[in-house]
Every structure is written in C-alpha cells, then in structure tokens.
Chains A and B, each alone.
Chain A
Amino acid sequence: MSALESEIDPDATPEPKLQISHLDAYFNDRHVVRDITLSVPQRRVTAIIGPSGCGKSTFLRCLNRMHEHVPGARARGAVMLDGVDVYHPSINPARLRRHVGMVFQKPNPFPTMSIRDNVLAGHRLNGTHVDAPGELVERCLRQVALWDEVKDRLGRPGVSLSSGQQQRLCMARVLAVEPEVILLDEPSSALDPIATAHIEELIEELKERYTLVLVTHNLQQAARVSDYMAFFYLGNLVEFDRTDVIFTNPKESRTEDYLTGKFG
C-alpha cells in the first residue's frame, strides 16, 4: 500500500499513459476534432470539458476506436497507448477495447442478462475463461460499492436496478475485463445527485489503479474529481493543464470566460 501511495504522489509529474498527437476526426465532411495533441497521465483523472458540440465525446471515442463504428466517421493521427499506435493497421480494435474500457452516458446493462452475467459479460463476449467467476463478480461489485446492495439478488435482471446502480453495474462490467484505461463519457449526466456522488467517489478510488479520462459538462464535477483538465472549443484544444492551475490561473481568456460562465 505504501508503495502505491508513493507512486501516486500528487506533486510528481506522472508518466503519460496515452499520447495523442495531431488527431483529427470527421463525420463525413464535418471536421469535429482538430489537430489535438495531448498526453494523458497514468493513474490520474483527466477531465475533458467544453460546450456542447465541441468534439469532446468524439475525441474520447477516438481513444478506443469506437468513433469508427459510426457510419461516415473517420479519424487521422496517432494515439499511442504505452508507446503502441492504436491506429496502426495491425491493431485489432476489439482487442484494444479490452485495454481501454468505456462507460457511457446512459447506463446500458444487457437486458437479457442477470446482474451476475452482466459483470461476466466481457469475458463471455471475448470467449475468455474465468477461473473463479463468483469471486470475480464479488470483487468487481465491491469495487463499485454495489455488492452489499445486490449480493442477495445476483440472478435478477441487471435492468431491475435503479439507474444509478445500473451505471455502477456497467462500471463493474468494465472493471471485470481488467482494462488499463477507462473512458467515461458523461457517466453521471443521466443520474440524480446522490447517484452522481457515488460515481464520483468511485472515480476517486479507481484512479489508484487505472488511468481515467472523463468527459463531463459539469464543471463542478471536473473540479472535484480531476487532476488534469483539457478545455475543448469548436474541436480545438484550447488549454490543457493541472485542474487547480486551470481553475485558478488559466492562460487563455476563452478558458476563463467558459469557466466563469460568460459562454457555454
């Protein structure tokens, strides 16, 4: 534990986990992400903020190549995961997504599956063998603080839970495949304040072991949970720095205007 604590010394400059260089993304002719160069530090929470339509979700979806599932969408540039370019032709995007997991805006547990099967879904879908499924289910559900609430009804459908619980179930489902990076696309925007607080606590805990990238339109949330922050505007990266620096001493006037509510 002490080794882990020293590793996440907040003042040390962390190693980059993802290095994005000159990334462009398009929907047909629309150029929605423009020449982004950015390093996502390891075992930190990096928040992406910006007004609606600024390309922050698209940028996030480029990191695990989900972007290309949309018809007419394409991306250009490099995204290096531990030095490996995930856009290299030899990379299998499905395998990549086991290393770079994703939590979506709307909780989306699999409706035909029980709570237990939802946690194991990643392994089932990948055809990987799980030695002790019961232990894995318990460990993942404990990680998202859902175990005590659902341990007596693991066989019930995943969709029988409240939406806040469903979102935590979706996070447990991602954790079960043991990714290194977790992308969170406005994970609490469909939830009530209490469920949101649960998710934020969870993000705090997860950054001890995972690299997290969080897209949010909630500035308070970004301030509460993130270590680094990138401000996107009209597809461009305006400013990227430590969260405390961005909030107290932004270098760009557009960042300051957005943070103080002059536009958005």
Chain B
Amino acid sequence: MSAPVSGLPPDLPSAPASGRSSASSDDLRAPTAGAPVEQAFHAIGFLALLLPLLAFLVLFVSVLADAWPRLGWGFLSGIPSRKPQLAGILPALVGSASLMGLTALIAVPVGIGAAIYLEEYARRSRLTSLIELNISNLAGVPSIIYGLLGLEVFVRAMHLGRSLLAGALTLSLLLLPMVIMTSREALRSVPLSVREACHGLGADRFCMLRLVILPMCFPRMLTGIILALARAIGETAPLLTIGALTYVAFLPDSVHSAFSTLPLQIFAWISRPQTSFHENAAAGIVVLLAVMLLMNGFALWLRARLQRRLPG
C-alpha cells in the first residue's frame, strides 16, 4: 500500500479523458433551454393574479364609498323602515345567524354520518359508486333547484310555511353534498398505517373511528364545514324561492317564525328606485362581506390551532 493518499481511488483518472471541458465557466453560466418561456410565464401568471385582485379592490372600494355614510351602530341595531335613513339590518343579521346555526345543526351530523358510512362501512359496489357520483353531481346543481324542492317539500307538503326551519332544511340540502365530500376527504387523509395499527391491536371499527380516526381528521372536517357555511350565508335564490320575506321588522323567536337574511335584505333594498336605499344595500354588502371574512378567518385559525397538535 505505497500509493499516495488522496481523496480518489488510485485507479480513477484525475481529469476527464475526453476533450469536452464540462466544467468551463461559460457552460455553468449559460441559461437553460426553457428560460425565455419561463420568464414570460412568470409575467402572465402574475398578471392573472393581479387582474381579479384589482377588480375586487375596485368593487370593494366603490361599495365602501357608497356605504360609508350609513355604516354605524344605528344601522347594525336598527330594523328596516320605509325611511332609508332610519332603516337597519338587525333582523336580517339575526335571521342569517339563526339560519346558519340551524342549518349547521341539521347538515353537519347528517353529512358526517353519511361520509363515515360511505368511507368506512359501505362495501364497494355499483350502488355505492352510483351514490358517490350523484353526490358530486348534486354539489353542482344550481341552488334555485334546491329552492324549488324546498318550496314543494318543506313549505307545502310538510306545512312548515315560510319559516326559519323550512329555510334551514332547504339550505341543509344544498350544503349536504359539500359537507359529505369534505368529510370524506378528511377521512381519507388518515394514513392506512394508522388504520392497520388499530386493527393490529384488535380494535373494532367503531372504537377505531371514535378514538383514532375522528380525532385525527376533525380539524379538516371542521374547516370544510365552516367554509361551506360561509358560502351558504350568501345564498339568496333558494330562500327567495321558498318565499322568505324581504321586509321583516322583528327578530325571529322560534324555528317557526318568518325571517329575512342579509342577502335578501340587500336584494330588497337594491330593487327600490330611491338611491338612498342603494346606500343601505351597499352598507348591507359590507356587513355580509365582513361576516364571511370572519367565518373564513375563523376556519383558518381553527385549522392552524388544531393541526399544531397533530405533528406529522
């Protein structure tokens, strides 16, 4: 072993034998083939992001400018009036909140239950595939169709009238496909290895779901549900169809009371000819946007908080 000690095995040539000087500095500095296209793509992508943001900004600023004189405590705590300066949004705000609460109470247990059944218990068959296909299609059905269904089934056949309950049942139908799909995705995100660990310890399906699977996918389910609710709070068409009122001067006191909601109130004001009512509509839009932003922010906060407990 008299060979000189070096980093290379002794039989390896110290420089490439061919004439190609692969490591010349020019070669290292040359651009790659896709470089010009990539720069263009970068610019197009940035523009595509900028345009909708600008459009939204312009919209928001003009609405805010219209709404500014009306925004205030009096507007939030007032009831609708024939005099636009006195009109407030409280019944619509309370109506929206109670409608969302009631809708969540109906749609969330049913939706999560259906998702658990489809994902964990149902055998793969033609029937379950058909049901799955229908659920994804139902998520894309226009909301006015759900309104017609709600009118026929809940308002007329079940004699619920134009009540909060009828509205909540209708919106629940609208939300169910979304709740089922997000819950199924959450269930599917639990890795097989965790399920196998449960089976390996002799757990039955119910205990596995309750103690391991549901705690693991709870944050994802909850986020999906809040986002679905935030979307539903802006729904107008199905509620108009079932005949929800646009002029309500009282707060709902039971699930059978008549009600109005923020988008309905906005719709009512904007259909008035007097421009001062349009200011009210703009203020209503600002309130609705604020509520939606709050809900989305809450969903994000909740996910971040709950997922910190779930490393890996």
Contacts and interface: CB of A to CB of B under 8 A. Distances in A.
Interface string A134-158: 0000000000000000000000010
A71 B124 contact: yes
A112 B310 CA distance: 6
Nearest to B203: A125
Given A94-B199, A102-B200, A157-B311, A108 B207 contact: no
Contacts of A173: 197, 201
B198 interface: yes
A3 to B, nearest CB: 30
Given A125-B207, A170-B197, A94 B202 contact: yes
Given A111-B312, A125-B208, A159-B311, A98 B197 contact: no
Given A69-B196, A104-B193, A111-B194, A125 B311 contact: no
Given A126-B207, A127-B207, A157-B311, A108 B202 contact: no
Given A112-B309, A112-B310, A126 B203 contact: yes
Contacts of B86: none
Interface residues of B, number: 24
Nearest to B215: A112
A174 B196 CA distance: 13
B311 A160 contact: yes
B26 interface: no
B171 interface: no
Interface in A99-140: 101-102, 104, 106, 108-113, 121-122, 124-127
Contacts of B194: 108, 110-111
Classify the interface of chain B: helix, strand, loop or mixed. Answer: helix
Contacts of B310: 111-112
Interface residues on A, range: 20 to 34
B197 A110 contact: yes
B11 interface: no
B193 to A, nearest CB: 4
B216 A97 contact: no
Interface in A19-48: none
A73 to B, nearest CB: 13
A99 to B, nearest CB: 8
A97 B207 CA distance: 15
A157 B307 CA distance: 13
Contacts of B207: 124-127
Given A111-B311, A111-B312, A94 B196 contact: no
B202 A125 contact: yes
Contacts of A124: 207, 211
Contacts of A125: 198, 201-203, 207-208, 211-212
Contacts of A160: 311
B199 A69 contact: yes
B204 interface: yes
Contacts of A95: 202
A66 interface: yes
A108 B216 CA distance: 13
Contacts of A121: 201, 211-212
A156 to B, nearest CB: 10
A81 interface: no
Contacts of B193: 104, 106, 108
A174 B202 CA distance: 10
A109 to B, nearest CB: 8
B211 A111 contact: no
Contacts of B124: 71
B196 A66 contact: yes
Contact of B200 (A66, A111, A113): A66
B204 to A, nearest CB: 5
Q: Which of A71, A108, A159, A174 has the most CB of B within 10 A?
A: A108
A110 B191 CA distance: 11
A110 B202 CA distance: 15
A49 interface: no
Nearest to B208: A125
Interface in B167-218: 191, 193-204, 207-208, 211-212, 215-216
A173 B203 CA distance: 13
Given A125-B207, A125-B211, A98 B196 contact: no
A177 interface: yes
Given A111-B194, A112-B310, A94 B215 contact: no
B311 A101 contact: no
What are the 3 tightest A-B residue pairs by CB atom distance, in nearest-first order?
A125-B203, A98-B202, A102-B200
Interface of B: 124, 191, 193-204, 207-208, 211-212, 215-216, 309-312
Given A69-B195, A108-B196, 4 more contacts: A69-B199, A108-B193, A157-B309, A160-B311
28 contacts: A64-B200, A66-B196, A69-B199, A71-B124, A94-B199, A94-B204, A96-B202, A101-B200, A102-B196, A104-B200, A109-B197, A110-B194, A110-B212, A112-B212, A121-B201, A121-B211, A122-B202, A122-B203, A124-B207, A125-B201, A125-B208, A125-B211, A125-B212, A126-B202, A157-B311, A159-B311, A173-B197, A177-B201
